[in-house]
């Protein structure tokens, strides 16, 4: 047994990056495929591949192979890893890992010299206190609720975490309005949800397939409780298979680093967990996907990315932009439900900058997810930019317009008929609603021309009377000022413009049947054109109609 001597000066150990390397790097030609690269890293038992100047993670190669992308060039799923010189200090390497880098590459004059893994950052996930932000940003009753959730989770031998947009916005320091809570439980999330529902007086709905439950409460809105889990995507665009896992894996399955933060609730300390560098990306106003195949696994993340970028003022980092380009190049996605895309359109339409977001999605090529033949045009861009105004116009005139239906028209308008039909069907439209949208696309231009040539109010009204509300909104969206004024006039008409009704004209001698509708239509047209101005004049018109023999 040796004992340190008092006052003895011991040499200081200063570790450098070269001393910290714990991951070997396999070197391969730049054009190597995912399948061949995976075989190589497995054979050499390495965690990284250097394909030309690009670094590819073994985990990403496994992910690509499981998605059926073995023939893809491995360099297309490369990561931008930080790299340091061999003499860089331990503190520098540790700082890069804590900021979210999965590895830090160590340069070598002879090529890749290895890498340092995240093990250097330590096993603990919590790396900051969020207590001050929680106390300042959340009302007392919500803070007490979070403490209660943490206690209930502990009583069920689990741990509770606050996740989602609320954590992100607390760290941004933006004002927090009352919103739904997203809770993750390491343990039995459904059991915790049941107990929580009894405690707060809410009703619970369980979703066993996804290990989740939703609690509806009057005091706190909706509380979503999820068992912490990992996800496995078995084909591009398909819903994932979920498996219970720890909070670290749960955060790594999410969409973007800014949404992959959590606040621990069970200890009461409100520690922040940020293993992927979400705080740094918020500070740098970056939107970063968690891995290069994120959009391939779930292409609807492209729509979420556009929403977050606009709402939070974030921009794609270069690797995320490349990931989106790759995902759109690999379209179509047979396993991707069009209804999931329609649901994303609903969420976009709820955004303050909906028109800007939709036009940006179009320019990015996102609507190729509806049909590979889709080509975005300037006209599509103008219509999508104006779409929120068209929806506001319809709402202001009490027209019941399906917002997704009108958005579908703005997206599909001007496309080849086969592409437009495929896009509408892909979004889940069928039967009568689909027929109305197809009619709007096929006849809208001709109808606008006829309305422009019509000189009498009655002629315009006859043209518009057969239109469904979404067709009227489509005409407004695509029309110039004169057409919009005509639509304003039509939808503002008093439905009681005719004083007489069916019983009245029958009492005047008109036989029941089609003749009643015919004579009332004549009276209505005459009223609109101003040739009849009173009930007495309407009755006289009916008598003359009878005298002429109908």
- Give, rounded to a whole angstrom, the gap between the first and last alpha carbons of the chain: 121
Q: What CA–CA distance (Å, rounded) separates 264 from 340? A: 31
Please tell me whether residues 134 and 277 are part of one structural domain: yes
- Provide the pLDDT for residue 168: 93
Q: Is the pLDDT of residue 126 over 80?
A: no
Q: What is the pLDDT of residue 123?
A: 47
Q: Quick one: average pLDDT of 89-110?
A: 88
Radius of gyration of the CA atoms of the chain, in A: 32
Question: Quick one: 163 and 28 in the same domain?
Answer: no
Identify whether 297 is part of a domain. no
Residue 276 resides in a domain: yes
Which of the listed residues 281, 305, 325 is the one where a domain comes to its end?
Answer: 281
Number of domains in the chain: 4
Q: Is the pLDDT at 119 greater than 60, yes or no?
A: yes
* 155 in the same domain as 85: no
Q: Does residue 289 lie in a domain region?
A: no
Query: DSSP assignment of 244-269, as one string?
Result: E--HHHHHHTSSBGGG--EEE-TTSS
Please indicate, yes or no, whether residues 29 and 61 belong to a single structural domain of this protein: yes
Q: What is the CATH number of the domain that holds 115?
A: 3.10.580.10
Asked whether residue 163 falls in the same domain as residue 215, the answer is: yes
Which residue has better confidence, 11 or 165? 165
Q: Per the domain annotation, does 28 fall within a domain? A: yes
- The answer to whether position 439 is within a domain reads yes
Categorize the per-residue pLDDT at 522 as very low, low, confident or very high, splitting at 50, 70 and 90: confident
Instruction: For residue range 470-504, list pLDDT tens digits in order.
Output: 999 999 999 999 999 999 999 988 878 888 888 98
Among the ranges given (159-173, 219-233, 512-526), the one the predictor scored with the smallest mean pLDDT: 512-526
d(CA 23, CA 59): 13
Residue 467 pLDDT > 80, yes or no?
yes
Whole-number pLDDT of residue 506? 87
Lowest mean pLDDT across 112-121, 252-261, 353-362, 374-383 = 112-121
Whether 32 maps to a domain, the answer reads yes
Pairing of strands 203-207, 212-217: antiparallel
Q: Quick check: 221 and 179 in contact, CB under 8 A? A: yes
Q: Is the pLDDT of residue 29 over 90?
A: yes
When pLDDT is averaged across residues 126-145 and rounded to a whole number, the result is 85
Q: Is the pLDDT of residue 125 over 60?
A: no
Give pLDDT, residue 127.
Answer: 61
CATH number of the domain residue 200 falls in: 3.30.460.10
Beta strands at 159-163 and 262-264: parallel, antiparallel or unpaired: antiparallel
Residue 24 belongs to domain spanning: 17-121
Identify whether residues 534 and 458 lie together within a single domain. no
What is the greatest pairwise CA distance in the chain?
127
- Global confidence as pTM: 0.88
Which pLDDT does position 2 carry in this prediction? 52
Q: Is the pLDDT of residue 293 over 90?
A: yes
Residues 46-74 pLDDT 10s:
999 998 878 999 999 999 999 999 999 99
pLDDT at 43 over 80: yes
Average pLDDT on 432-441 reads 96
Among 88, 121, 154, where does a domain finish? 121
**Same domain assignment for residues 461 and 397:** yes
Residue 73 CB neighbour total at 10 angstroms: 18
For range 160-187, the mean pLDDT? 88
The reply to whether 294 falls in a domain is: no
The answer to whether residue 368 scores a pLDDT higher than 90 is yes
Contacts of residue 75, defined as CB under 8 A and 6 or more positions apart, other chains included, come to 30, 31, 32, 51, 52, 54, 56
The tally of CA atoms less than 13 A away on the side-chain side of residue 499 is 12
Average the pLDDT over 518-522 and give the result: 84
**Average pLDDT for residues 281-299, to the nearest whole number?**
96
Which residues, other chains included, contact 21 with Cβ-Cβ below 8 Å and sequence gap of 6+?
A: 106, 113, 114, 115, 116
In a domain, 93, yes or no: yes
Q: Are residues 274 and 407 in the same domain?
A: no
| Residues 429 and 451 reside in one and the same domain | yes
Confidence of residue 9 (pLDDT cuts 50, 70, 90): low
Q: Are residues 173 and 79 in the same domain?
A: no
Co-location of 260 and 187 in the same domain: yes
- Domain endpoint, select from 491, 510, 536: 491
Note whether 157 and 251 are same-domain residues: yes
């Amino acid at each position: 047994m040796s004992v340190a001597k008092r006052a003895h000066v011991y040499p200081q150990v200063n570790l450098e990056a070269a001393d910290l390397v714990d991951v070997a790097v396999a070197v391969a030609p730049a054009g190597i495929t995912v399948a061949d690269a995976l075989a190589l890293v497995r054979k050499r038992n390495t965690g990284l591949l250097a394909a030309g100047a690009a670094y590819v993670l073994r985990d990403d190669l496994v992910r690509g192979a499981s998605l059926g992308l073995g023939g893809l060039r491995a360099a297309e799923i490369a990561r931008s890893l930080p790299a340091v010189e061999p003499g860089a200090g331990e503190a520098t390497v540790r700082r890069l890992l804590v900021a979210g880098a999965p590895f830090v590459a160590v340069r070598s004059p002879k090529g890749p010299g290895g890498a340092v893994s995240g093990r250097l950052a330590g096993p603990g996930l919590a790396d900051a206190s969020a207590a001050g932000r929680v106390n300042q940003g959340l009302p007392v009753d919500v803070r007490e609720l979070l403490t209660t959730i943490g206690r209930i989770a502990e009583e069920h031998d689990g741990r509770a975490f606050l996740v989602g947009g609320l954590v992100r916005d607390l760290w941004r320091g933006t004002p927090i309005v009352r919103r739904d809570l997203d809770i993750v439980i390491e343990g039995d999330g459904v059991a915790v949800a049941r107990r929580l529902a009894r405690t707060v007086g809410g009703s619970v709905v369980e979703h066993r397939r996804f290990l989740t439950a939703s609690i509806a409460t009057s005091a706190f809105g909706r509380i979503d409780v999820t068992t912490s889990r990992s996800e496995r995507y078995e084909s591009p665009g398909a819903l994932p298979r979920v498996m219970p896992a720890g909070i670290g894996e749960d955060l790594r399955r999410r969409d973007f680093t800014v949404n992959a933060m959590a606040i621990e609730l069970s200890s009461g300390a409100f520690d922040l967990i940020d293993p992927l560098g979400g705080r740094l990306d918020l500070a740098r106003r970056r939107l970063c996907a968690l891995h290069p195949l994120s959009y391939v696994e779930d292409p609807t993340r492209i729509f979420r990315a556009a929403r977050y970028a606009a709402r939070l003022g974030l921009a794609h980092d270069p690797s995320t932009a490349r990931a989106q380009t790759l995902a759109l190049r690999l379209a179509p996605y047979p396993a991707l439900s069009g209804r999931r895309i329609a649901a994303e359109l609903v969420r976009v339409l709820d955004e303050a900058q909906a028109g800007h977001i939709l036009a940006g999605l179009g320019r990015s090529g996102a609507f190729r997810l509806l049909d590979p033949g889709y080509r975005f045009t300037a006209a599509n861009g103008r219509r999508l930019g104006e779409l929120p105004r068209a929806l506001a116009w319809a709402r202001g005139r009490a027209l019941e317009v399906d917002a997704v239906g009108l958005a579908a028209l703005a997206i599909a308008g001007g496309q080849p008929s086969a592409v437009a039909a495929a896009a509408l069907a892909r979004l889940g439209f069928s039967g009568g609603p689909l027929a109305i949208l197809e009619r709007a696309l096929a006849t809208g231009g001709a109808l606008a021309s006829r309305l422009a040539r019509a000189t009498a109010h009655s002629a315009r009204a006859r043209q518009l009377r057969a239109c469904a509300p979404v067709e009227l909104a489509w005409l407004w969206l695509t029309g110039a000022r004169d057409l919009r004024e005509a639509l304003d006039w039509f939808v503002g008409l008093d439905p009681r413009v005719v004083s007489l009704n069916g019983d009245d004209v029958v009492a005047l001698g008109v036989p029941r049947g089609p003749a009643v509708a015919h004579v009332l239509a004549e009276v209505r047209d005459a009223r609109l054109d101003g040739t009849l101005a009173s009930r007495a004049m309407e009755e006289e018109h009916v008598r003359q109609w009878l005298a002429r023999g109908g």
